[in-house]
Structure 1
Amino acid sequence: MPCRRQFLGYLPLALTGSIAAAATLGSRPARAAAMLGEQEPQALKVGYMADSSRVDPRKYPAHKPSQTCANCQLYQGDEGSAAGGCALFGGKDVAAKGWCSAWEQG
């Protein structure tokens, strides 16, 4: 009966793993809804604007109108999407037409 005992010993671990996987997969749509706000501390640090055309050229002289989150190397959204993830902001989405001072040619 060692096989049955081993099976019963691993059963709680398997159930816990299944619950954790379901919770992780179930939270993906919630992640997409979490947009980065312009007034959030991490956005303020890098001058994030949801619309690149509103960037103050005096404050950010390196900004060019053609630079957007959608063509940044850090952007993780799908091509053509209105928003997507950013490596800089972790679990928050940014607007594809947005910009911040960490912009890198993608």
Structure 2
Amino acid sequence: MQSRRSFLINSVGVVSALTVARGVLAAAPKVDAKDPAAVALGYVADAGKVDKAKQPKYVAGQACSNCQFYQGKASDAFAPCPMLAGKQVAGKGWCNVYVKKA
């Protein structure tokens, strides 16, 4: 059985690690639409400018900010995305791996 003191020390360590990790993610660079990974995923910084002839999966109303992979609040202008190596994507953006947030 773990003592209360050990539990508190471990808890502080976990919270500190999560805080640092969140800071690292927030500092991630914004993805360039010409980045090879972004091109491969059909990423655009403004979902309103999706070429529907090239991206038939796109449906009006889809955007990074309401995708399950978007690692920020829906109101954030930019947030990290694991599909693009943790780089920040535009909340108003879109790509082929879009999955509606539950």
TM-score, length of structure 1 as denominator length: 0.69
Match of 1:15 in 2: none
What is the aligned residue count?
Answer: 85
The answer on whether the counterparts of 1:52 and 1:97 sit within 8 Å (CA) in structure 2 is yes
> Where in structure 1 do 4 or more consecutive aligned residues deviate above 4 Å?
none
Q: Equivalents in 1 of 2:30, 2:61: separation in Å?
A: 22
Alpha-carbon RMSD: 2.5
Q: Does 1:45 align with 2:40?
A: yes
* Equivalent residue runs for 1:27-46 within 5 Å: 28=23, 31-32=26-27, 34-46=29-41
Q: Equivalents in 1 of 2:25, 2:81: separation in Å?
A: 16
Q: Secondary structure at the match of 2:84?
A: coil
Match of 1:88 in 2: 83
The answer on whether the counterparts of 1:76 and 1:86 sit within 8 Å (CA) in structure 2 is yes
TM-score, length of structure 2 as denominator length: 0.72
1:75 is aligned, of 34, 58, 70, to 70
Q: Rg: which structure is higher?
A: 1
The runs of 5 or more residues in structure 1 that have no matched partner are 1-20
The runs of 5 or more residues in structure 2 that have no matched partner are 1-15
